[in-house]
Amino acid sequence: MNYGAEQPLSEAGLRICRVVSEQPGIHFRGLARAATLPAGQLRHHLDRLVRRGILVELEDGGYKRFFLAGKHDPRLRPALALFARRVPRRIGSLLLLRPMTRTELRRHLGCGDSTLGFHLARMVQAAVVTKQRDRSGCRYALAEPELARQALAMRAQVASQEERAQQQREAQPGWQLGPRPGLLPPRTPAPGPEPILPANPPLGGATTLPPATPGLYGGDTVTAEPIAPAQPLEPEEMLQEEQPEPPKPAERREVVVPPEP
């Protein structure tokens, strides 16, 4: 596809444009996963593509969403950005049937009133939904039902593509252990045999531990110091049982008997 660039795009730029063309309104993190690019590198290429007028960046609350310039009607972009979320998408599908009050929408959606009010306010602010008052209360309706129908159809197609991509990722062996784009793999030591120590080391020798396995990223190798054996005690240093002292002999006293008169 010709993206209207005066200079040829890099391989990463072509990959980004292909993903945005297949999934219009994709947010930044989803684009990083689909294009398998780190966040910093992706941000660099996106800034260049936006400056050259190849991509269009749209603010959607806390998300940055991207569209391919000149491919879709610009009026579809706000609806595509809003319908990327589940609750606004269900609101749009219900309002395609007929205008509804807030109570009717809450009954069909089964969500909290605060959640419904938050999404309705954003849809009214983006001019995707209009708010009308009549005798029965306040009713909500789609501003342009045909555009909303197209946006919902495109979002359904994108959702099916994302589901197929997720199924393909899960089918790959070890997909749970794969690192996320832009993140380093966890620093885990290399597997190795566990050290085996002798049960009763001899007293006359030295027991040494096997050397540690080097770390995954080339860390220093640590070798255990030899363990000195216990030295036997000399005979004079051994503890002797204390013997009880012998009893002292009784003192003898001489008795002088005076002579008889």
Both 40 and 84 in one domain: the answer is no
Question: Residues 3-50: pLDDT tens digits?
Answer: 554 578 889 999 999 999 888 888 888 889 888 999 999 999 999 999
Residue 98's pLDDT is 92
Both 62 and 88 in one domain: the answer is no
Both 58 and 28 in one domain: the answer is yes
- Asked whether the beta carbons of 165 and 36 are under 8 A apart, the reply is no
Within 8 A by CB and 6+ apart from 141, the residues are 95, 99, 129, 130, 132
Question: Residues 198-241: pLDDT tens digits?
Answer: 555 555 555 455 555 554 444 444 455 555 555 555 555 444 44
Question: Residues 79-112: pLDDT tens digits?
Answer: 888 888 889 999 999 999 999 999 999 999 988 8
Question: Residues 41-60: pLDDT tens digits?
Answer: 999 999 999 999 999 998 88
Residue 91 belongs to a domain with what CATH number?
Answer: 1.10.10.10
| 58: Cα within 13 Å, side-chain hemisphere | 23
Residue 16 lies in a domain: yes
Residue 223 lies in a domain: no
For range 162-180, the mean pLDDT: 59
Among 126, 147, 168, give the residue marking a domain's end: 147
The domain containing residue 18 runs over which residues? 9-71
| 29: Cα within 13 Å, side-chain hemisphere | 4
Distance CA 19, CA 94 (A): 29
Residue 93 lies in a domain: yes
Residue 54's pLDDT is 92
Both 63 and 29 in one domain: the answer is yes
Both 91 and 113 in one domain: the answer is yes
